[in-house]
């Protein structure tokens, strides 16, 4: 052994260092690669991705092969360094040489290649797969024996190596985080839409409905002339028809249908209304938006009356309301869009107490709490636990609120001043 040329020993040591770097970077790149991007590239028939996916389908085999090869390389390197040390300085230098070998292999054979692989896993993993896949077949018998012992040891602790293989599902919260962290890969507007779609499961029709005291409808007991005049000036195309109050719903009227009646005559009768109205569609108060959207599609209906557990009408919800939760406001009626919110010169806003918190947050890009009360009036009553008088002030999160008008046991209008940077706890005064 002492007759081996120094050049061969140095060449072997360099080759072993390269192999150590190869296996170290291979291990890190395979484990650090984005599995979802990998699956996408597999669907695109990317050759390197397909090979990597085959390797990762059996991670225990892949890791077993890499670790076996890496340990083999390190042991052979230790033997080569020992021979070099004996040949150059004698047995007294073996300890120092071993220390030097450890430092060199740690830097160039472990830390540097693994860092590079972690930063660019695809650039490393895809070309490496062409080498690792055939190598895994050659080393399979030996690795299989090693894995049997390792997996048997894991089973003693109740761990089964193949139990989690292929489980790549994400929870809704994890998927929401993926979308938020997508950065420039997904345009900001598209990210908002995707998050809104995911949020449909946590939002109910109660959160977005038009409250019953804001529903515009037709009382069939009104004089026909008054009803006709109302229809001529109404901005809505679909209206509930009721008798005396909204809980006595008769049906839904599409204005287009009554216009057909008016083509043949100049006035309408109660019988004309009854002839063109259709059966109302009722929606339970706590129905989740993604379910209601599907129900609207199945029923071929665009509007529904929201009822509570006692059957009382609590509000009205439309297909457009749900779609606006995804894409944002798209109404062309600016007067309707801003009718509840009035900006002031001092930077504050006068807001109607019946305005929903979700609409306020969406229009002004605020973050008023929406996990409890649904309207601004409800939020103030929830915090104060009493009906306030005009002039009452309170602070909720980063907003200073002042009740400017209160009547009929409700807050009618509120002045809100945003307080940027305030981190104070919610307090009421």
Percent of the chain with pLDDT over 90: 37
In the predicted model, is pLDDT for residue 424 greater than 50? no
Stronger pLDDT, 311 or 336, i.e. the higher one: 311
- 386 lies in the same domain as 306: no
Is the pLDDT assigned to residue 426 strictly greater than 50? no
Mean pLDDT on 293-305 = 93
Q: How far is CA 55 from CA 30, 60, 170, in A?
A: 9, 10, 22
The answer to whether the CB of 268 falls within 8 A of the CB of 258 is yes
**Beta-strand pair 349-352/218-219:** unpaired
If asked whether residues 342 and 379 sit together in one domain, one would say yes
Q: State yes or no: pLDDT of 282 exceeds 60.
A: yes
Examine residue 183 and state whether it is found in any structural domain, yes or no: no
- 98 and 236 assigned to the same domain: no
The confidence score (pLDDT) of residue 380 equals 94
Q: What is the pLDDT of residue 257?
A: 87
Same domain? For 238 and 378 the reply is: no
Among 327, 356, 384, where does a domain finish? 327
Q: Are 208 and 199 in contact (CB under 8 A)?
A: no
Alpha-carbon distance of 135 to 120, in angstroms, equals 22
Burial string for 84-97 (b: 16+ CB within 10 Å, else e) reads: bbbeeeeeeeeeeb
Structure confidence at residue 169 (pLDDT): 67
CATH at residue 254: 3.10.580.10
Residue 393's CATH number: 3.30.465.10
CA 216 → CA 96, 240, 305, 341, distances in Å?
Answer: 90, 8, 12, 20
Point out which residues pair with 406 in neighbouring strands: 411
Residue 331 banded pLDDT, cuts 50, 70, 90: low
Residue 427 pLDDT > 60: no
From the list 333, 374, 329, the residue with the least C-alpha distance to 355 is 374
Whether 299 and 242 map to the same domain: the answer is yes
Last residue of a domain, one of 123, 139, 155: 155
pLDDT by residue (tens digit) across 245-264?
999 999 999 988 888 887 77
CA nearest 8: which of 80, 101, 103?
80
Lowest-confidence range among 188-192, 391-395, 407-411?
A: 188-192
Angle, in degrees to the nearest 10, between helices 59-88 and 47-56:
90
Do 339 and 226 have their domain in common? no
User: Has residue 15 been placed in a domain?
Assistant: yes
Q: What is the pLDDT of residues 125-148, one digit of tens each?
A: 999 999 999 998 888 888 888 778
Q: Are residues 209 and 144 in the same domain?
A: no
* Judgement on whether residues 34 and 87 belong to the same structural domain of the protein: yes
Claim to verify: residue 211 and residue 237 sit in the same structural domain: yes
For the chain, how many residues are written? 429
Domain that holds residue 371: 334-428
Q: How many domains does the chain have?
A: 3
Mean pLDDT value across residues 397-402: 92
Residue 204 pLDDT > 60: yes
pLDDT for the residue 395? 92
State the pLDDT confidence band at 168, using cuts at 50, 70 and 90. low
Residue 31 lies in a domain: yes
229 domain residue, yes or no: yes
User: From CA 230, how far away is CA 64, in angstroms rounded?
Assistant: 79
CB contact burial 20-47 (16+ within 10 A = b; e otherwise): bbbbbbbbbbbbbbeeeebeebbeeebe
The per-residue pLDDT of the chain, averaged, comes to 85
Nearest 5°: the CA angle 209, 211, 214 is 120
Average pLDDT over residues 270-280: 89
Look at residue 36 in the predicted model and tell me its pLDDT.
80
Instruction: Classify residue 36: in a domain, yes or no.
Output: yes
Q: pLDDT band at residue 421, thresholds of 50, 70 and 90? A: low
Q: Which of 297, 327, 357 is the last residue of a domain?
A: 327
CB-hemisphere CA count at 13 Å for 365? Answer: 2
pLDDT at 28: 92
Separation CA 389–CA 410 (nearest Å): 9
Q: How far, in Å, CA of 107 to CA of 24, rounded?
A: 11
Q: What is the DSSP letter of 227?
A: H
User: Looking at residue 413, what is its pLDDT?
Assistant: 94
Which pLDDT score is estimated for 243?
A: 93
Domain assignment of residue 1, yes or no: no
In terms of Cα–Cα distance, which of 305, 286, 195, 294 is closest to 246? 305
Regarding whether 11 and 81 lie in a shared domain, the answer is: yes
348 within a domain of the structure (yes/no):
yes
Residue spans of beta strands (DSSP E) within 212-324: 218-219, 238-243, 245-254, 282-284, 303-307, 313-318
25 & 137 share domain: yes
pLDDT at 371: 82
> Are residue 28 and residue 148 in the same domain, yes or no?
yes
235 located within any domain: yes
């Amino acid at each position: 052994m002492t007759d081996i040329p120094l050049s061969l020993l140095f060449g072997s040591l360099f080759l072993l260092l390269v192999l150590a770097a190869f296996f170290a970077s291979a291990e890190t790149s395979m484990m650090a690669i984005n599995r979802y991007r990998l699956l996408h590239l597999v669907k695109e028939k990317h050759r390197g991705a397909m090979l990597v996916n085959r390797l990762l389908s059996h991670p225990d085999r892949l890791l077993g092969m890499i670790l076996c090869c890496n340990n083999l390389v390190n042991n052979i390197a230790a033997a080569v360094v020992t021979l070099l040390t004996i040949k150059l300085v004698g047995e007294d230098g073996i300890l120092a040489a071993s220390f030097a070998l450890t430092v060199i292999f740690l830097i160039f054979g472990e830390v540097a290649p693994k860092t590079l692989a972690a930063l660019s896993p695809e650039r490393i993993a895809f070309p490496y797969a062409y080498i690792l896949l055939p190598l895994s077949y050659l080393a399979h018998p030996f690795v299989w024996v090693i894995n049997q012992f390792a997996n048997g040891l894991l089973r003693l602790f109740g761990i089964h190596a193949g139990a989690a293989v292929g489980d790549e599902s994400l929870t809704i919260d994890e998927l929401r985080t993926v979308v938020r962290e997508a950065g420039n890969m997904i345009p900001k507007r598209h990210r908002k839409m995707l998050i809104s779609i995911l949020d449909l499961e946590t939002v109910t029709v109660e959160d977005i409905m038009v409250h019953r005291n804001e529903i515009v409808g037709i009382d069939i007991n009104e004089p026909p002339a008054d009803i006709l005049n109302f229809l001529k000036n109404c901005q809505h195309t679909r209206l509930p028809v009721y008798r005396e109050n909204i809980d006595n719903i008769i049906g839904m009227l599409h204005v287009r249908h009554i216009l057909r009646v008016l083509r043949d005559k100049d006035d309408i009768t109660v019988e004309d209304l009854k002839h063109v109205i259709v059966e109302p569609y009722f929606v339970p108060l706590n129905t989740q938006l993604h379910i209601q959207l599907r129900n609207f599609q199945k029923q071929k209906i665009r509007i529904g009356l929201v009822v509570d557990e006692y059957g009382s009408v609590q509000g009205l919800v439309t297909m457009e309301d749900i779609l606006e939760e995804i894409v944002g406001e798209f109404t062309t009626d600016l007067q309707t869009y801003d009718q509840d919110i009035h900006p002031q010169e001092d930077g504050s806003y006068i807001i109607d107490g019946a305005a929903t918190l979700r609409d306020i947050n969406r229009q002004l890009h605020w973050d008023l709490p929406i996990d409890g009360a649904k309207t601004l009036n409800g939020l103030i009553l929830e915090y104060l636990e009493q009906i306030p008088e005009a002039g009452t002030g309170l602070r909720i999160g980063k907003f200073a609120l002042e009740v400017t008008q209160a009547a009929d046991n409700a807050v009618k209008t509120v002045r809100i001043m945003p307080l940027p940077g305030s981190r104070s706890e919610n307090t009421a005064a």
